[in-house]
A and B are shown apart, each in its own frame.
Chain A
Amino acid sequence: MSKKHHLCDIVDAEKCKGCTNCVKNCPTEAIRVRKGTALTIEERCINCGNCIRTCPYHAKIAITDPLDLRRLKEFKYTIALCSPVLYSQFHRVLPPGKILNAVKSLGFDDVFQESVGADSVTQAVKELLKSRELKKPVISSTCPAVVKLIQIRFPSLIDNIAPLLSPMEIAAKLAREQVSKHKNIPEDQIGIFMITPCTAKATAIKHPVGIDKSPIDGAISLIHLYGNILSAISTVSDDSGLAKASGQAIGWARSGGETIAVNAPNYLVADSLQNVISILEEAEMGHFQDVDYIECLVCHGGCVGGPLTIENPFIARIMTRKLVATLPDTISEKTLERVKKRYQEGYFHHDKPIEAQPVMPLNQDITKAIQLVGRAEEILRQLPGLDCCSCGSPSCRAQAEDISRGYASMTDCIFKLLETIQDSAQEMLDLLHKERRISSRGKEN
């Protein structure tokens, strides 16, 4: 199993009550409650952030850079890279230039839009689809949680993933090059920090897919920085020079936005995890061979539904749509030509293939695994089938698999424990009766 992946979230053991809300809501069955605390099976976690969203005690915390922005001091020049979701979080449409300027005023030397990357990726995807180098359906690589989900659960679809860097990565590459060139600062002295609504992106920065090192240096949770941005907004002016991205690129903040921009003839859009899983299940069956492009996003409504957002995703969708309508649709001809040239040079492509990370097998040895599966089936028939989660596993089936692997025991099930106690109580009673019979017989004699 891969050792490279690390979690984007931690459990605050003090706050965790062991309530199993996260266990039940984890789409990849990656969480177990053991000894009263939620534990994540690292290899299974796709960093979707559902556990952070559903924990009623706020015991699940996203690991991002600290709010005091102390890491900014490590660099000579710092850039905040802003997710387009940020523009949708203020109840009303504000000019992106004003919001970006507010972020900049918090202590960054510069601010860039992630959406500038989306403008490039839009063209790169168009070129990729035109080239027909990939088999249909081509699956978008934009959502890192979807890529991870495919790596662990749908490995046969890896070759369908567009081998392109994400808008976040492209935007960071472009920002670093531009600043280095114009300000004459060595690239390694520029620190780029992503202001993100997304836990999976925070992880993708630490452990990128398709490249060895991420062009981004850190992630700052949007929800943590929100208060500061809000207070700064009234004090700054609208610097329209900061807002270069097209309306279509900003539209990527909601599901379907990417598809509108890419404009593939035959497409599919799915958001929220259960829907994404069911679409990928069908894709794996070979059902979508006539579909050119699939946009899958694990959050409800797309990135506007990210776990580190403030605004209700339905309202954020409307705010995004309203903002997009005020902006130019696409990029200039000149930029377009430059993007096409860069595509030919391989600027947008991954450096290395995406690897499968199978996490399901019960054992590396197939004969042994078959025995364990047989045992799990046998155990499953003995369990009550209530999926009550009291044992700390998400379902009786998952618990049967855990027991078979040796990670759990039969008496973790409260119903089985009760049976065991009843049985031993009965045995004790029987023994007592026997003892009485013997001793009374002794008296008779």
Chain B
Amino acid sequence: MNEDKSNKDIKLEYPIKGMDFLAAGEASSNIKHTLQLIGFSPAIIRKVAIAAYEAEMNIVIHGSQGVLKTLINPAKIELVAEDTGPGIPDIELAMQEGYSTAPDNIREMGFGAGMGLPNIKNCADEFTLDSIVNKGTTLKVIIYNQ
């Protein structure tokens, strides 16, 4: 985990491994703890925590390797989730509630209900999703402190 030297912002960076269910959820849990220490409102913390958790789980389930970066300042919280996974062939379809490409064994564990990306979008003030098939996906979410 690294963090910026400047006083205004906090940068957190968590490497995330695909299929690592042992550590899954730790990054978003740490992000939430940090936001609580700073004293953001419960509503903002909840939005960021949900977005961070779903983004983290997406990398665990679909991405082979990735990183979750967080930039925090008094005005906004920015989450960037990058992975080198299979990529998303049809982003519009992936954004539909209930659509999932998670394999059966993952669904049996209660994950991959097809709600991850729609949930993230619901929490986000700004949402961008870029993906190249067989290369990876970058998700960027901004939540303003208002």
**Does A370 lie within 8 Å of B49, measured CB to CB?**
no
**A363–B50 Cα gap in the complex (Å)?**
24
**A414–B43 Cα gap in the complex (Å)?**
40
Interface of chain B residues 18 through 73 with chain A (CB within 8 A):
29, 34, 36-40, 42-43, 45-46, 49-50, 53, 72-73
In this complex, how many residues of chain B approach chain A with their Cβ under 8 Å: the count is 26
Contact status of A373 and B43, CB under 8 A, knowing A285-B49, A286-B50 = no
**A366–B8 Cα gap in the complex (Å)?**
10
**A358–B50 Cα gap in the complex (Å)?**
20
Residues of A in contact with B (beta carbons under 8 Å apart): 155-156, 281, 284-286, 356, 358, 360-364, 366-367, 369-374, 376-378, 401
**Does B37 lie within 8 Å of A284, measured CB to CB?**
no
**Does B46 lie within 8 Å of A366, measured CB to CB?**
no
**Does B42 lie within 8 Å of A360, measured CB to CB?**
no
Chosen A-B contacts, 15 in total, with CB atoms closer than 8 Å, are A358-B42, A360-B39, A361-B38, A362-B37, A366-B38, A366-B74, A369-B39, A370-B7, A370-B38, A370-B74, A371-B7, A374-B3, A374-B4, A377-B1, A378-B3
**Does A155 lie within 8 Å of B42, measured CB to CB?**
yes
**A356–B38 Cα gap in the complex (Å)?**
16
**Does B45 lie within 8 Å of A373, measured CB to CB?**
no
**Does B119 lie within 8 Å of A286, measured CB to CB?**
yes
Contacts of B39 in A (CB 8 A): 358, 360-364, 366, 369
Contacts of B1 in A (CB 8 A): 377
**A285–B57 Cα gap in the complex (Å)?**
13
Interface of chain B residues 109 through 145 with chain A (CB within 8 A):
119, 145
Contacts of B95 in A (CB 8 A): none
Contacts of B42 in A (CB 8 A): 155-156, 356, 358
B38 contacts which of A156, A369, A378 (Cβ < 8 Å)? A369
Closest A residue to B47 using CB positions = A156
**Does A370 lie within 8 Å of B119, measured CB to CB?**
no
B40 contacts which of A285, A366, A377, A378 (Cβ < 8 Å)? A366
Contact status of A370 and B50, CB under 8 A, knowing A156-B42, A360-B39, A362-B37 = no
Beyond known contacts A367-B74, A374-B10: 9 more, CB 8 A cutoff: A285-B49, A285-B53, A362-B37, A362-B38, A366-B38, A366-B39, A369-B37, A373-B37, A373-B38
Contacts of B29 in A (CB 8 A): 281
Contacts of A377 in B (CB 8 A): 1, 3, 10
B9 at the interface (CB under 8 A from A): yes
**A33–B43 Cα gap in the complex (Å)?**
34
**A378–B46 Cα gap in the complex (Å)?**
26
Contacts of A358 in B (CB 8 A): 36, 39, 42
Contacts of A360 in B (CB 8 A): 36-37, 39
B85 to nearest A CB, angstroms?
22
**A29–B4 Cα gap in the complex (Å)?**
28
Closest A residue to B34 using CB positions = A373
**A156–B37 Cα gap in the complex (Å)?**
15
Contacts of B74 in A (CB 8 A): 366-367, 370
